[in-house]
Structure 1
């Protein structure tokens, strides 16, 4: 409605002429047309048409204002909805810590499309240029510090409980003052229990096989051969005694040019041990020289594992009686009965010998010892070998002797000297983990891997497994029979997350430690724990086997897939920041931990990728893609001094590329089902970019040039190989065609 105008006084009526009646019809008025309406005089009311026009204009004005207001409100609402439903920055402490890690390790001046490895790992590798370290090593050290915190926290555990014994052992190991105060006396008592030796102390001339039995059964020392149990690889998977070479302290390189210098270093080391035990210097030198000679002759009779593999001579099945005929210097039945006291053994007991030629040669070395001093020299050799194995429990003088030997060997190998020694607390954590692994593992999981973390990791694995199951139908080279077989394996696959179930049960480990006694010296405690561990291991083999036996400790950082048990294992030590956290953006978890999970599952395909492993497959297509993959990795340039064998690493390269494909498919599927994804602030990365950034973070490191057994490619290839072979990476990082990370040709194995 138009506003009402103020009321005005009525205008006076015009005068009426005489003779006219009121209301008489007036004469017609002549109206001339006018192009404009006559101007309205001030004070006169508006006409009806003017009122209507003004009312219309006012209505349109109000409507325009209303529409503009609604538009502004709607825009604000859309902005709010967009920002609340789209990726939001994760500002939690664990996310901010991850951002700091990414900014520290990465090199933002590197171009992602040219060198993504430097973009992600550039600063980290420059710091570690001369060390064989990687991001997993950083996580391992973080876990060790967590174990130290657990063991050194002042908690009053129930007396004689598994936790109390675990902490008590660690503290006894750390008490170096008490260990040094005990001196050599505890070790002298052990030597006397073995019959003494001719260098110092009492010497009762014991029987060689009697001493050997005591060494192996009571002290776990195997100077001439190693005996242990292992399950048969084929059904019914019964435990079988294995006979193998011992773990030689001298490097297995008799043909090395500086080998005489290595022998002299060991001779000096053994002389130090004998002198510390109170031996006469002349007698010590004589017996140490004979011990080195015995070890050298044993090495000449042995074959390296690689040579045995090439010859196809890894093991041979025989019986105890047959072994007695082939190697008569050892009383095999008596020794094996002492080692495996819980087993009923007879001469017809089947056993597996891993290097029969070595066992024959070892028997000859023992039989050819100097006749006049036969027992003397063999006894000294066995005592010196035992002392070397017990050094972790001996005083600082023995440990210094071993440290000096390690430094001398590094010099002879041309390696840079490690100027620092391993901290005592790390050594003690290692020993505590060896003897009390179930309890220490449970304590670590309770402290670092909550139920929420375990549930989140299990859900992540489920997404990865489902993505792989869906992807099977897309493999062009796989035959239907192999596809069904793989699908069945996936459906029956078991996953163990964090730690073995049995160690998390209340009082599960208490029975395992009931025979451990804490003696007046740390050496006595150490030996008691060693015996308890051997007995526990033996019972584990002979008892009912209802679950997979873990190959790693819960605090370690390596996952694996067991093909024989069809079990995937992911320890709690790996599922930690910076690789996994329930609070991380899902892109981080899928890219880092998810790709690790997918990598282990890809090993299900190993049997099909080896020559002759998949006769029902499309062989030309499969071989073509494997050849493409091998040549693809060979085309990359490596840092100076780095080498690798593409055929040697082929299966791991295939697993890396497949893992990236599966992890990305799982992440995309997850995004379709879930809303509220977050990102990391300050990085400027979208969720998909963050996925690939997190994948590469797992691979950061420098190549370990010393480990010839490593089947993985150097870290830079583990980043550039899979990512450059993935078209979506180039799309999300806007890499131009022909750049290193967006090549013209890719392989399509997966």
Structure 2
């Protein structure tokens, strides 16, 4: 057992003196025990009692010199012994399999040639891009589950999920089928002029089939969602479409023209693959591009719509029919949202009336003059969405298009994902209840659940403590923030409905697998759409779970004040019950804290907290803006308005709160460990783990929620933390120890 330095030195000294056994030892021992360290005093004695006085004086001096030498030797010895104890009684190394795997990952991702204080991102993350991300590792875990043989009940959800995955992976069968299954789909839609087999074309019938049977929306989006002012009531919502080609208002004309040429070449290739004459295919591809370009001109960014009028409108189906008569709205929406019973007076939520009016006028003109081209436009768009279920010619054409478009927009090159990853994603989407139960059983046992919930509780408590120390927050706002945190519900792992045995083993009776993969794929699309409608109509809609249980990001549901952490977030290398606490607090704990702070985004927006110290908030905002601008280099994205401020402020605050929670944990509990052979203190390991969590590229699924690039996230947050510079001994003025810091949270 390790002892304190003073206690150890005194005990060791007393023990040594006891072994000597002489008078001076006894006397000195008594003084030490009494707390004194003065030189021993010899009482005077009569002459007859001993040697002459001069002799006694010399002996006393000699004796004192011997004692001093002994004390000096003991001091040196105890210092050496203390150094040895200090070096060997620090946090012991964690040598469990989980820790050794994490150690290998840390070693593989770092660059030791870079000084931590100069460029911590390169030091910790330079080679991280060569390692699988957490999302990929979670999908790999699903892959192993889907490829493991099991005694599944005939027709059960498990069996159908396995059958679908295996059919997706059977590329030989998909290649052998060729374009035949797709040609059959086109015939069911009425055929098209490109291949010369057009039979009939009823615009609204085709549109209704595309929406309800194929999940494709060529001109607008329609979906069930909570009403903006009544979050627990599902409403049909009509919004702008998601166009296949990512055109943007601010793009240069040269880039825009190149993107259009690439997209035109892709559509032309699709027509030829489906048996069309090259000249005819090119004509129809050109008209499709023309329709897309005109629709694009009608679109307005969300910020512009909010500035000009209300963000949404409540109107009936009848009123929408008058405004946009080209669409048979009642028929299309009824087919889409069965079993809902719709009527002309049914209320809708519409987000852009001007777009719908202009779209309707465009369609009316096309139907009068270019009916064949309009149908080709709809079919070509559908083929693009079905490319994952088609043979390699269609998949490769779609991949090349996306690659070219990414290069033109100067984004990083798209990684080439293996076939199994797409098959896992599709199987997970279509059979989520079944795969959720399988994943949670395998990856989120009771021990992990308990450790995750304990971590969240400590992060939440640290935030509550932090709220009391914010000088810019008013007392009323502080109380509201405190109540918001204490009343927050938290869900971890997977939704309750997905883990019920009867749902996990759901037979998916409406899914018919075969006779080819495309037909299986489309059957799953219809089943999923019907389940989504059914789920939205339930008394407790499951809109809070916007991410699958194997997802790697958290989500806050503002409608029912619930924070959701999927099981996939509590996986290596971000979390494990056997990890040193520094790792779990630094990686997953900072993510939890960041998500908690997202609850308070509104009070940081201009005018969001009138009774707060708005001047102080503005000063902090400008300070943080300058801080990130100084860190930004020419090839990274710097601050971009209000949203960037909120995202970066949440990063900085999440780190601060997680570190506070970890420091409190160290004071209250013993038993911390560290990684072997790393020479990292627990605090250094905390910051290293935080960087490891930030190394990954942000998701591009929702550009509005995309934070800063990883390098900026790592440097922006860590350089804002004085504790980082202190524990890594960074000199004042270094990149990671700036002269000025911004303190918001």
TM-score (norm 2): 0.83
Give distance in 2, aligned partners of 1:288 and 1:744.
59
Contact 1:221–1:389 (CA<8 Å) still a contact in 2? Answer: yes
1:91-106 matches, cutoff 5 A: 91-106=95-110
Give distance in 2, aligned partners of 1:405 and 1:717.
30
- Of 274, 278, 289, the residue aligned with 1:277 is 274
Contact 2:536–2:543 (CA<8 Å) still a contact in 1? Answer: no
Cα displacement (A) at 1:470: 1.9
Moved more, 731-740 or 484-493: 731-740
The corresponding residue for 2:236 is 241
1:447-458 matches, cutoff 5 A: 447-458=442-453
Larger radius of gyration: 1
Contact 1:269–1:405 (CA<8 Å) still a contact in 2? Answer: yes
The corresponding residue for 1:153 is 148
Cα displacement (A) at 1:174: 0.9
The corresponding residue for 1:13 is none
The corresponding residue for 2:725 is 730
Where 2:153 maps in the other structure, the secondary structure is coil
The corresponding residue for 1:503 is 498
The corresponding residue for 2:114 is 110
The corresponding residue for 1:124 is 127
Is structure 2 residue 362 aligned with structure 1 residue 358? no
- Which structure has more helix as a fraction of its residues? 2
Give distance in 2, aligned partners of 1:397 and 1:321.
44
Unaligned residue ranges in structure 1 (runs of 5+): 1-32, 37-70
1:514–1:708: structure 2 CA closer, same or farther, 3 Å change rule?
closer
Deviations 1:476-498 (A, max 9, x none): 12112111111111111111222
Is structure 2 residue 337 aligned with structure 1 residue 337? no
Deviations 1:239-284 (A, max 9, x none): 1111122222233247632444433433333333233333344443
Give distance in 1, aligned partners of 2:192 and 2:366.
16
Cα displacement (A) at 1:550: 1.0
Give distance in 2, aligned partners of 1:538 and 1:238.
13
- Of 91, 97, 115, the residue aligned with 1:87 is 91
- Of 686, 689, 692, the residue aligned with 1:694 is 689
Deviations 1:575-603 (A, max 9, x none): 21121111011111111111111111112
Is structure 2 residue 517 aligned with structure 1 residue 522? yes
Contact 1:433–1:440 (CA<8 Å) still a contact in 2? Answer: yes
Cα displacement (A) at 1:398: 2.4
Deviations 1:689-737 (A, max 9, x none): 2112212222225789999645523333322333333233333233344
Cα displacement (A) at 1:438: 2.3
Contact 2:628–2:638 (CA<8 Å) still a contact in 1? Answer: no
- Of 527, 534, 542, the residue aligned with 2:537 is 542
The corresponding residue for 2:375 is 379
1:461–1:548: structure 2 CA closer, same or farther, 3 Å change rule?
farther
Give distance in 2, aligned partners of 1:265 and 1:737.
51
The corresponding residue for 1:7 is none
Cα displacement (A) at 1:535: 0.3
TM-score (norm 1): 0.82
Moved more, 462-471 or 706-715: 706-715
The corresponding residue for 1:186 is 181
Deviations 1:410-439 (A, max 9, x none): 565567876x85322122112112211222
Is structure 2 residue 610 aligned with structure 1 residue 615? yes
1:261–1:738: structure 2 CA closer, same or farther, 3 Å change rule?
closer
Contact 1:679–1:686 (CA<8 Å) still a contact in 2? Answer: yes
1:152-551 matches, cutoff 5 A: 152-200=147-195, 202-235=197-230, 237-253=232-248, 256-312=253-309, 314-369=311-366, 371=368, 374-410=370-406, 421-511=416-506, 513-545=508-540, 549-551=544-546
Contact 2:437–2:504 (CA<8 Å) still a contact in 1? Answer: no
Where 2:246 maps in the other structure, the secondary structure is coil
Cα displacement (A) at 1:656: 1.9
1:290–1:566: structure 2 CA closer, same or farther, 3 Å change rule?
same
Cα displacement (A) at 1:529: 0.5
Give distance in 1, aligned partners of 2:354 and 2:558.
31
Cα displacement (A) at 1:75: 12
Give distance in 1, aligned partners of 2:168 and 2:552.
25
Cα displacement (A) at 1:77: 12
Where 1:89 maps in the other structure, the secondary structure is coil
Contact 2:535–2:542 (CA<8 Å) still a contact in 1? Answer: no
Give distance in 2, aligned partners of 1:421 and 1:107.
25
Where 2:366 maps in the other structure, the secondary structure is coil
- Of 634, 638, 641, the residue aligned with 2:632 is 638
Where 1:474 maps in the other structure, the secondary structure is coil
Give distance in 1, aligned partners of 2:703 and 2:542.
32
Give distance in 1, aligned partners of 2:204 and 2:184.
20
Where 1:351 maps in the other structure, the secondary structure is strand
Give distance in 2, aligned partners of 1:494 and 1:588.
25
Moved more, 528-537 or 599-608: 599-608
Moved more, 594-603 or 78-87: 78-87
Cα displacement (A) at 1:307: 3.8
Moved more, 279-288 or 582-591: 279-288
The corresponding residue for 1:715 is 710
Contact 2:536–2:542 (CA<8 Å) still a contact in 1? Answer: no
1:178–1:597: structure 2 CA closer, same or farther, 3 Å change rule?
same
Cα displacement (A) at 1:463: 0.7
Deviations 1:601-636 (A, max 9, x none): 1122212211111122233333333333333333x3
Cα displacement (A) at 1:161: 1.6
Cα displacement (A) at 1:183: 2.9
1:228–1:390: structure 2 CA closer, same or farther, 3 Å change rule?
same
Contact 1:273–1:384 (CA<8 Å) still a contact in 2? Answer: yes
Moved more, 697-706 or 239-248: 697-706
Contact 1:477–1:619 (CA<8 Å) still a contact in 2? Answer: yes
Contact 1:124–1:701 (CA<8 Å) still a contact in 2? Answer: no
The corresponding residue for 2:15 is none
Cα displacement (A) at 1:163: 1.4
Give distance in 1, aligned partners of 2:304 and 2:725.
44
1:655-666 matches, cutoff 5 A: 655-666=650-661
Contact 2:625–2:639 (CA<8 Å) still a contact in 1? Answer: no
Moved more, 666-675 or 592-601: 666-675
Cα displacement (A) at 1:667: 1.3
1:701–1:144: structure 2 CA closer, same or farther, 3 Å change rule?
closer
Flag the structure with more relative contact order, 1 or 2, with Cα contacts below 8 A and sequence separation at least 6.
Answer: 1
1:623–1:414: structure 2 CA closer, same or farther, 3 Å change rule?
closer
1:279–1:614: structure 2 CA closer, same or farther, 3 Å change rule?
same
Cα displacement (A) at 1:531: 0.5
Cα displacement (A) at 1:573: 1.9
Cα displacement (A) at 1:553: 1.5
Instruction: Give RMSD over aligned pairs.
Output: 3.3
Cα displacement (A) at 1:345: 1.2
Give distance in 2, aligned partners of 1:247 and 1:512.
33
